[in-house]
């Protein structure tokens, strides 16, 4: 293991560890995690904490309310977030900082870079960033949905060396160990393929929103950026002792030896398509070119609602997906372009000297930018 080479890590802690009984925050399992963070800092390892738990921590304050209501859940998050932060703050003798994010903050390149700069400034100042999704204001369209994937995005933005995901079991098993006696722990994963996802099953905790599947999704995001990733038993103090001793206490997902470039990684793993541009079946995309020439004559249809600078999916009429692209025009204008006289529109757009799209990520680039080993053991 490369523990001795870690300079910066991200550790993700779930709701089941924060509020195991949904009766406010508990320090029962957090003490060993806080001690691990302190020991990392003493060793010169900068740490970012991604902490779920605001909804679970605030749920006991709304016992008579309709807990299935999204409005009530947002209120739980608002009340529970302060309790969660206060609990963490009491466990450290150094400063902490609250960082609340939505997916909208990460999928916009300028805001993503701003988040990265803020994390960098906090870490350089010796302050522990405590990150959570902003459940109080987020919507289905704006949310990441689980803090496993959020932790991977944060690890990428922070340029971390390792991502440690705390679970209620000590890693990935061949089957659900709570149900199958013959399930075996997989200590090392070198390639994340469909066979790995098939082992994930569903969530094992009644408190959290994620499961093993989201942890594997997070690992896939992280390792493609060269980030060592671990799933460990967060309820077991020895997990953290083993990590600091250079041992693997759970499942280690080995990073790719040739990580994706930052911008391509952001396009693939952080952005979400806000709509689609449909082009003629004869349209050919140039995988070698940095820029893509997409003219109004190529545009057949536009689906979804999006703004200037959003990422959309470029597809052929036959359904073939070509690339993720960053659009320079809104869906409203491009809908107009697709239904008007192309020659006249082309001349007008030429006058603006602004291409229809300015950036792309092509799915086939995976084979060129990611070096994957083929053996899991």
* Intrachain domains 3-265 and 273-367 with the same fold: no
Q: Which CATH architecture has domain 3-265?
A: 3-Layer(aba) Sandwich (3.40)
Predicted confidence band at 348 (pLDDT cuts at 50, 70, 90)?
low
Supply 288's token pair: 């070698």
pLDDT score of 161 = 96
Q: Tell me the mean pLDDT in the region 78-83.
A: 93
Number of H helices, E strands in the chain: 14, 13
Is pLDDT at 279 greater than 80 in this prediction? yes
Is pLDDT at 14 greater than 70 in this prediction? yes
57 CB burial (10 A radius; 0-12, 13-18, 19+): buried
Q: Tell me the mean pLDDT in the region 173-177.
A: 87
pLDDT score of 352 = 53
Could you tell me the CA-to-CA distances from 287 to 266, 361, 362, 367, 368 in Å, in that order?
Answer: 18, 9, 7, 12, 11
Q: Tell me the mean pLDDT in the region 49-61.
A: 90
pLDDT score of 364 = 37
Domain assignments of the chain as residue spans, ordered by start: 3-265, 273-367
- What are 178-212's pLDDT values in tens digits? 888 888 999 999 999 999 998 886 444 444 444 89
Average pLDDT, the chain: 85
Count of CB atoms within 10 A of residue 286's CB?
A: 11
Least confident of 148-157, 164-173, 288-297, 303-312: 288-297
Domain 273-367 belongs in CATH node 2.30.130.10: yes
Least confident of 6-15, 177-186, 226-235, 247-256: 177-186
pLDDT score of 342 = 57
Predicted confidence band at 144 (pLDDT cuts at 50, 70, 90)?
confident
Count of CB atoms within 10 A of residue 93's CB?
A: 6
pLDDT, greater one: 361 or 308: 308
Is pLDDT at 285 greater than 60 in this prediction? yes
Cα–Cα distance measured from residue 84 to residue 26, given in angstroms and rounded to the nearest whole number = 9
Contact by Cβ (8 Å): 348, 356 = no
Highest averaged pLDDT of the listed ranges 121-135, 141-155, 169-183, 289-303: 121-135
């Amino acid at each position: 293991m490369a523990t001795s080479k870690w300079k910066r890590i991200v550790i993700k802690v779930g709701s089941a560890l924060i509020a195991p009984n949904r009766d406010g925050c508990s320090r029962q399992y957090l003490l060993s995690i806080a001690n691990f963070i302190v020991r990392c800092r003493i060793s010169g390892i900068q740490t970012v904490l991604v902490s779920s738990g605001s909804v679970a921590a605030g749920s006991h304050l709304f016992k008579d309310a309709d807990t299935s209501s999204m409005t009530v859940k947002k209120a739980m998050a608002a009340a529970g977030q302060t309790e969660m932060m206060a609990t963490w703050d009491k466990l450290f003798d150094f400063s902490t900082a609250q960082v609340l994010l939505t997916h909208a903050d990460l999928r916009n390149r300028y805001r993503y870079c701003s988040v990265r700069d803020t994390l960098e400034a906090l870490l350089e100042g010796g302050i522990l960033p405590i990150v959570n999704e902003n459940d109080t204001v987020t919507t289905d369209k704006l949310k990441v949905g689980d803090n496993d994937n959020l932790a991977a995005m944060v690890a990428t933005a922070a340029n971390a060396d390792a991502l440690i995901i705390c679970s209620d079991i000590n890693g990935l098993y061949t089957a659900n160990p709570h149900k199958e006696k013959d399930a075996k722990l997989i200590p090392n994963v070198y390639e994340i393929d469909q066979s790995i996802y098939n082992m994930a099953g569903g969530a094992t905790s009644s408190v959290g929103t994620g499961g093993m599947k989201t942890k594997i999704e997070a690992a896939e995001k992280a390792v493609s950026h060269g980030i060592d990733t671990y799933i460990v038993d967060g309820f077991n103090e020895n997990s953290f002792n083993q990590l600091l001793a250079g041992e693997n206490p759970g499942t280690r997902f080995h990073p790719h030896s040739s990580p994706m470039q930052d911008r391509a990684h952001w396009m693939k793993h952080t952005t979400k398509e806000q709509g689609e541009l449909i082009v003629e079946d004869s349209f050919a995309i140039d995988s070698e070119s940095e820029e893509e020439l997409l003219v109004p004559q190529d545009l057949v249809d536009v689906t979804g609602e999006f703004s200037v600078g959003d990422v959309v999916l470029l597809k052929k009429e036959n359904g073939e997906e070509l690339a993720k692209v960053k659009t320079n025009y809104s869906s409203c204008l491009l809908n107009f372009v697709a239904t008007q006289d192309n020659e006249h529109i082309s001349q007008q757009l030429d006058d603006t000297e602004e291409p229809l799209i300015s950036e792309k990520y092509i799915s086939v680039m995976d084979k060129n930018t990611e070096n994957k080993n083929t053996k899991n053991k």
